[in-house]
Amino acid sequence: MAAADEINARRYDHDTSTRTLAMRTADLREMDTSRLDLVETSLWEFWAIVGADGLVPELQIDGAHFYVARFEGENAATLMAFDHDGDCGLYMVGTAPAARRHGLATALSALAVAEAVERGCTTASLQSTKMAEGIYTSVGFRDLGRFDEYVPGS
């Protein structure tokens, strides 16, 4: 409880909680990703699609891989994978509300991990909202615990 006492003493407020998930890439569950309508994209096009233009202008794209899937002819799901020291981190995973529940995020996640294996990654990791936990566990990720984020209080 010492950490909680210190956080309270500094007047930080709890902001969000996510689940930390990881997997050995060898544990990737087989999935059919052939139905994905993928769009090749650059960093700048990816930022425009996710609505985060210039969010991370200094991002080094070495090790970064950008995925965009279309649904009914429209950009509908995104994922950024970033390789570092044998781990493939998954970030910016999202699906447009009209395209949800069609398996796009699940298929993109599986594809990103499969391609990470080809690049030599032995693990994959991410932080998940409650809404998306089932997506990642179906791919093979397992829960490592909760990640709490705090912000300075008012």
Tell me the per-residue pLDDT of 67-115, one tens digit each, with 9 for 90 and over. Answer: 999 999 999 999 999 999 999 999 999 999 999 999 999 999 999 999 9
Sheet-wide strand order for 87-95: 37-39, 64-71, 74-84, 87-95, 123-128, 12-24, 142-152
Banded model confidence at residue 59, pLDDT cuts 50, 70, 90? low
- Is 16:151 a contact under the CB 8 Å cutoff? no
Q: Which residue has the higher pLDDT, 59 or 148?
A: 148
Q: Which residue has the higher pLDDT, 95 or 147?
A: 95
pTM over 0.95: no
- Is 125:87 a contact under the CB 8 Å cutoff? yes
Q: Which residue has the higher pLDDT, 54 or 144?
A: 144
Q: How far is CA 14 from CA 80, 93, 107, 128, 146, in A?
A: 27, 23, 32, 17, 13
d(CA 82, CA 116) in angstroms, rounded, equals 9
CATH architecture for segment(s) 10-152? 3-Layer(aba) Sandwich (3.40)
d(CA 25, CA 19) in angstroms, rounded, equals 19
- Is 129:96 a contact under the CB 8 Å cutoff? no
